[in-house]
Amino acid sequence: MNSKLLVFVLFAVWSGISWRWYVCGVKKACSSDREVPGTGIVADPGGIETDTITAEQIIQPSDGYTGGAGEPSSIETVHMEALEDRMVIHFPYSSTRKEDNEAIDDYLSRLAQYMIASGEHVTISGHTDFVSDPKTNYQYGLRRAYGIRDILIKKGVPKSQIRCRSYGESKPVASNDTALGRYKNRRAEIVLNKK
């Protein structure tokens, strides 16, 4: 009986060490450096009622904006969150496109109008959770960024004003151990760059 308990304890210890090595060593998902670099002003939704858009209007939340620092209502839907210096759009699992969401459409329309008028540039960074392999995750992140870029181009923004990049799974903002954490890591970040 004691030998079975010893085998079980050794197996449990080995499992914990192997899991930690995989998550921290291979996937680099438990790094203490979780800050995504970027400079720029807040590209946040704003209440705009005139034809001329200023950076201050982009920063102000609009009346229809329902995103924010709170938890999303469902991990199966697209959710928009305004952070200090960026707008973040979270995606459901295996999703690369911005699904129908009035607040996101409104934000992207106002952002496009501002970019056309000001000539400012935007950087869109795609991110994923760590469920798939790094190459696939890099491609998903890039497709998320390109999806937002294509919407801005359709709204009249010149392609030369938009920079897209993918970090894949390399810059998580939450733990990949839970469904909500993985949902928070599946995102596109939009940063309006200063000239």
Residue 165: the pLDDT is: 95
Six-digit token string for 69 = 């620092």
| Predicted pLDDT of residue 50 | 35
The reply to whether 53 and 103 lie within a common domain is yes
Residues 102 and 145 in one domain: yes
Report how many domains make up the chain: 2
Cα torsion at 79, 125, 95, 156 (round to 10°)? 80
Asked if residue 144 and residue 86 are part of one domain, the reply reads: yes
Q: Which residues does the chain have with pLDDT short of 70?
A: 1, 25-76, 94-101, 195
Per-residue pLDDT tens over the stretch 121-170: 999 999 998 888 899 999 989 998 998 999 999 999 999 999 999 999 99
Distance CA 36, CA 12 (A): 35
Residue 28 neighbours by CB under 8 Å, 6+ apart = 170
Distance CA 43, CA 85 (A): 7
- Quote the domain boundaries for residue 17: 1-30
